[in-house]
Amino acid sequence: MTTSVKERLKTDLEQAQKGGKQRAAKISDILKSAASMTVEEIKEGSSELHVLTRKSLADLLEELHVNSDEVDAAAAATAPIADAADTDEAPTWPAILKQALAIVRDRKGDWLQEFQAHWQKNAAKFDRDMTDEYGDRYRQTKSVFRQVLDWVKSQPTGRQTQPQPPRPVTVEVVDGDAAAGNAAKTMNSLDAE
């Protein structure tokens, strides 16, 4: 009777081990799937934010360009960007930079003040929209940017300390034979000690 109980316990233990391995494999698969889904969601969110940023910048630059007093050949060069901004396609970074440089050349100075006024006017709306759309991710990113800006502002510009005057350097030139002789004398005195 003791043999049958031992055998039964052994088979039950083997079944429990087999079941435990299967459960561990299922849990591992679930965790891998969850991790890959998390990474995909983060990638999609960052790419959406990237596209949204490009669209916003293109719209902003287009509005600045439209409000410009001067319209010249640069307007013709940036017209495709305006079309891309009106549709759901986001323009490329080089196209945005070309448009920004065209506006800078057109404005000859007042573009920065207008850009700052426009930014301040729309900053609250942008902040509200981004908070509604991305929630905590946007708040965390915003706090990091604020910390970086505060750090940059706190850094001294230029040299704040007085430069040290140059110190003279003394070089002693020793004849090779004399130096070898002095070294030998020094070694002999060290050996004697």
**Tens digit of each residue's pLDDT (9 = 90 or more) over 117-172:** 787 788 888 888 888 888 888 888 888 888 988 888 887 765 555 667 788 877 77
Check pLDDT > 80 for residue 66.
no
Closest of 99, 92, 88 to residue 64, by C-alpha: 99
**Tens digit of each residue's pLDDT (9 = 90 or more) over 27-54:** 999 999 999 998 888 888 888 888 888 8
Residue 81: Cβ-neighbour burial (10 angstroms; 0-12, 13-18, 19+): buried
**Tens digit of each residue's pLDDT (9 = 90 or more) over 67-92:** 654 444 444 444 444 444 445 677 88
Buried b / exposed e over 11-48, threshold 16 CB at 10 Å, is eeeeeeeeeeeeeeeeeeeeeeeeeeeeeeeeeeeeee
Residue 112 sits at the vertex; the CA angle it makes with 91 and 122, to the nearest 5 degrees, is 65
pLDDT at 31: 92
Residue 124: Cβ-neighbour burial (10 angstroms; 0-12, 13-18, 19+): exposed
Residue 64's CB is within 10 A of a number of other CB atoms, namely: 19
CA separation, residue 2 to residues 5, 6, 7, 9, 13 (Å): 5, 6, 9, 11, 16
pLDDT at 177: 64
Query: pTM for the whole thing?
Result: 0.34
